[in-house]
A and B are shown apart, each in its own frame.
Chain A
Amino acid sequence: AQSVTQPDIHITVSEGASLELRCNYSYGATPYLFWYVQSPGQGLQLLLKYFSGDTLVQGIKGFEAEFKRSQSSFNLRKPSVHWSDAAEYFCAVGVYGQNFVFGPGTRLSVLP
């Protein structure tokens, strides 16, 4: 069965520290991949996407993600976290002909 996992339910980092949020998927076909961010009570905002090509993709707000086919992973990174990055982050995976499947989300807290 197709699935998306985000192993970390909650992560706390200090402002200015680096960040990596993990996403793993289990799909038979080659997927396309997304990271979304959600602030409390708000909708989801697209941070970045991967369809094909360069496996390191750049997104908005200084985020980047790397697709590793051999590890079925699409981890999100940011070199220096800002207090405004505190939110919930969702990894989403899609394949042709089907709707996205979202991971359970990782809540990010940022310490001053």
Chain B
Amino acid sequence: KAGVTQTPRYLIKTRGQQVTLSCSPISGHRSVSWYQQTPGQGLQFLFEYFSETQRNKGNFPGRFSGRQFSNSRSEMNVSTLELGDSALYLCASSLVGQGGGTEAFFGQGTRLTVV
């Protein structure tokens, strides 16, 4: 069974640009959550999608958005990039969602560097 796939693995963008990250969950999993990981803030929850609907949202500005497609693949978009958006972005896949009492499986992450 294939794991969680995130693309691209590395990305360098300029301030003010926008970026789209992609996540393909484990087959059969309907929930995808996104996290931002930085040395100073640790793992911070961005949002969760379940069956194409955003179910939970963390405390991030509106520049961070996401969506989920009918095949459960998810994309995350960050507009008007700031230097502080440089981070490892992790996607987590779970069967029915973290709030449903199932474990989450993580992808390798996308390392975003904003210059």
Question: Which A residues are within 8 Å of any B CB, using their own CB?
Answer: 32, 34, 36, 41-46, 49, 51, 90, 94-105
A43–B109 alpha-carbon span in the complex (Å): 6
Say whether A95 contacts B90, CB under 8 Å: no
What are 28 A-B contacts with C-beta separation under 8 Å? A32-B101, A34-B103, A41-B88, A43-B6, A43-B106, A43-B107, A44-B92, A44-B106, A45-B106, A46-B105, A49-B103, A51-B101, A90-B43, A94-B101, A95-B99, A96-B99, A96-B100, A97-B99, A98-B56, A99-B33, A99-B45, A99-B48, A99-B56, A99-B58, A100-B45, A100-B104, A103-B42, A105-B42
Majority SS of interface residues in chain B?
A: strand
Range of interface residues on B (Cβ < 8 Å): 20 to 34
A90 to B101, CA, bound (A): 18
